[in-house]
Structure 1
Amino acid sequence: MSTDFKNKKKDQLVENVSVANRCLSELAGKPRRDGHYISTDDADAAFIRKVSSFWVRPSSAHNGMQAELLVKILPDGKIWDVSVISSSGDTAFDLSTINAVEELSVICEILQMDPKKYAQQYKERRVIFSPEDL
């Protein structure tokens, strides 16, 4: 087995442990809603709150702009792909929305969702960003 392959596997393991620890830390003491799973609305609220904290509004952003993204999320809440479905027409704005989602990197609340709802609604999630919403 090559050293590069071993290092890559080691880096992946360290990242996975880091993500798991971050989620355990974030979710500690937060009971699941209704004693079971959180709702899609709760997961959406957490996502919006968190991605908003990472978003840096570019100077070119103005009310009325919209960028629609497709965010692909793994069952452990890790974001593995973000792409623009519909551009705002402003490259700086589009990139700022992608960067905010990538900075978030994980949505720990996914771990508290019903697996069926995750598969139906969060495996691939369409998100519309607009300056007045954030």
Structure 2
Amino acid sequence: MAKGHRSQIKRERNSNKDTRPKAHVRYARVSASKAKIVLDIIKGKPVGEALAILAYTPRKAARIIEKALKSAMANAENNQGLDVSKLYVEEAYANKGPTMKRIRPRAQGRAYRIEKKTSHISIILNER
């Protein structure tokens, strides 16, 4: 069992706040598996290099991730006062979002389901 009153435990748990600059894209209309392919390319790279890679990556997810990366860079510069030239992509991941279910009419009165998948993309930067 934990020691102390539950308010003390909560206060202690919440004091360990993550101060790294980050950006999230919720309900992005791209499947998580397709977004992960692009995110794996830029993980661990400096932000300038990551932006250059995304500019020449011919995938739909690259446009969405590029926008999120620029947002994370702006957060780092404006909210935390960090030097953008020293930043790198520390963490980048995509989790599954809700799936939109649609119906496609087929022959002989049947209906096939179309699943339009979404994802939640997160990018966390850090200074070198």
| TM-score under structure 2 length normalisation | 0.36
Please say which structure displays the higher CA radius of gyration: 2
Q: Which structure shows the higher strand fraction?
A: 2
Q: Which structure shows the higher helix fraction?
A: 1
Q: Relative CO higher for 1 or 2, CA cutoff 8 Å, sep ≥ 6?
A: 2
